[in-house]
Amino acid sequence: MKKRNGLIAVALGFSLLGCTGRPAKSKGIALSIADTLSWSYPDLMPIDSANKMLGSYLNSINYQSNDTDIQSVIFDARLLRNYLNTIFDSGNITNVKMMFAHKLSYINSGHMNQPAGYHSNALTIIIAAYDSSGNYRFYPGNYVIDKGLACPTNCPPTGSASSSLLPSIQH
């Protein structure tokens, strides 16, 4: 029950962040890319803050001795780019919504509507884009993304992304 409540809290947090629109800009770090897009705090956060958040979650699931609970989900960047660029009228996409879901394999094995805790063989994230009016924009043929690979079972074996935390210094 404790894990289920934690998952619900995480999902609610993502939902609130994803559904409240773009937060007001505040003073802080500002980056500009191609003079058309800009991000600033709170859109970006320092790595040490991200690691504090990641560490809290990972320690709550005892990640160092637990290889079944989901630690992260990896998406192919080319798939995300293609998805966003191929959607009709893609210039009007303002956000993507990341939604926790049971995997079809979990449902089809007799677990429809049954709690899965944090089990990586049961959970996935579905990604769907939406516009400024809050209307979903689907990939041609009415598709959304569900090709996330659950970590720890599918984490990269080498490189800085093989760690559960972010590196302190980026080169």
Q: What is the mean pLDDT of residues 29-47?
A: 55
Instruction: Look at the pTM and tell me if it is higher than 0.85.
Output: no
**Residue 127: what are its φ and ψ, rounded to 5°?**
-115, 130
Q: Which residues does 120 contact at the CB level (< 8 Å), separation at least 6?
A: 68, 69, 70, 71, 150, 151, 152, 153
pLDDT tens digits, one per residue of 128-161: 999 999 999 998 889 899 878 888 888 899 999 9
Give pLDDT, residue 32: 40
Q: Are 167 and 47 in contact (CB under 8 A)?
A: yes
Per-residue exposure over 128-138, b if at least 16 CB sit within 10 Å of its own CB, e if not: bbbbeeeeebe
Chain center to CA of 150 = 11
Sheet-wide strand order for 123-131: 93-102, 123-131, 136-137
Q: What is the mean pLDDT of residues 93-111?
A: 93
Report the alpha-carbon angle 31-37-42, nearest 5.
55
Average pLDDT over the chain reads 78
pLDDT tens digits, one per residue of 53-85: 999 999 999 999 988 999 999 999 999 998 899
